[in-house]
């Protein structure tokens, strides 16, 4: 589980919120699959609407340019972000995201290795609504400032607690990583962070950085899956 602070700017958040306020919403259960449909109670921007698709693609472009997200996820494919809204008493019970997802409007599918929630309003705008992720260390509750995001394995059981007042607005997406193994992907992320820290240190020699870059990229070359 990795928190990205922030993923998009306050200006971007304001833009997306303003656009979303003018767009149609539908019952979120319409898009739930399998057992998830029985525990899903929220609203979702209508992905068949042209303006919603445009907004989703605008956010998708920003995701593909964020260096921390790229380092953490090593994405091969990213599902167009979905915008959701939780009003008072709405929640999404424990569920696991579908393993295989078809990208809307295409015949292309992706394997969901990584899930991501981008928070689009601040915690003081609503009560409840925490994202709860079940991990080997117990339940982790996440409620971040607007523009911040959390990425976590799609294989994790997770839920959104009931909103008790106000409204919770967020965007969610899923990624197929070039590195399917979660532990290896985490190791590569830590390695890349160390490399970036050493780059910032003027005392680090170019030869040392070249050796580390060689190790990092050869590991990706060895273990990446692009099918």
pLDDT tens for each residue of the chain, 227 residues long: 899 999 999 999 999 999 999 988 998 887 766 666 789 999 999 988 999 999 999 999 999 899 999 999 999 999 999 999 999 999 999 999 999 999 988 889 999 999 999 999 999 999 999 999 998 888 999 999 999 999 999 999 999 999 999 999 999 999 999 999 999 999 999 999 999 999 999 889 999 999 999 999 999 999 998 87
**Of residues 183, 204, 186, the one with CA closest to residue 195:** 204
166 pairs with which residues across the strands? 126
State the binding site for Fe cation: 95, 97, 158
**Spatial separation of the C-alpha atoms in residues 116 and 73, rounded to whole Å:** 10
**Of residues 81, 175, 158, 119, the one with CA closest to residue 3:** 119
Alpha helices in 136-205 (DSSP H): 182-200
State the binding site: 95, 97, 158, 168
Fold of 2-177: Jelly Rolls (2.60.120)
State the binding site for 2-oxoglutarate: 168
**Spatial separation of the C-alpha atoms in residues 217 and 140, rounded to whole Å:** 32
Q: Is the pTM of this model over 0.85?
A: yes
> Can you give the residue ranges of every domain in the chain?
2-177, 182-223
């Amino acid at each position: 589980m990795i928190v990205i602070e922030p993923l998009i700017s306050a200006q971007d958040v304001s833009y997306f919120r303003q656009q979303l306020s003018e767009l149609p919403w539908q019952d979120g259960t319409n898009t739930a699959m399998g057992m998830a449909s029985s525990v899903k109670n929220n609203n979702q921007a209508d992905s068949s609407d042209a303006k919603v698709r445009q907004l989703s693609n605008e956010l998708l472009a920003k995701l593909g340019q964020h260096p921390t997200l790229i380092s953490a996820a090593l994405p091969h494919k990213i599902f167009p972000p979905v915008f959701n809204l939780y009003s008072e008493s709405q929640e999404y019970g424990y569920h696991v995201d579908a393993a295989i997802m078809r990208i809307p409007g295409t015949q292309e599918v992706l394997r969901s290795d990584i899930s991501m929630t981008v928070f689009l309003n601040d915690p003081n705008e609503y009560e409840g609504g925490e994202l709860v992720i079940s991990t080997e260390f117990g339940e982790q509750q996440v409620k971040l400032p607007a523009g911040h995001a959390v990425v976590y394995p799609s294989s994790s059981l997770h839920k959104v607690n009931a909103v008790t007042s106000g409204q919770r607005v967020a965007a969610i997406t899923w990624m197929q990583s070039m590195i399917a193994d979660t532990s290896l992907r985490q190791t590569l992320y830590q390695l890349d962070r160390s490399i970036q820290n050493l780059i910032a240190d003027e005392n680090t020699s170019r030869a040392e950085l070249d050796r580390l870059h060689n190790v990092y990229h050869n590991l990706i070359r060895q273990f990446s899956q692009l099918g």
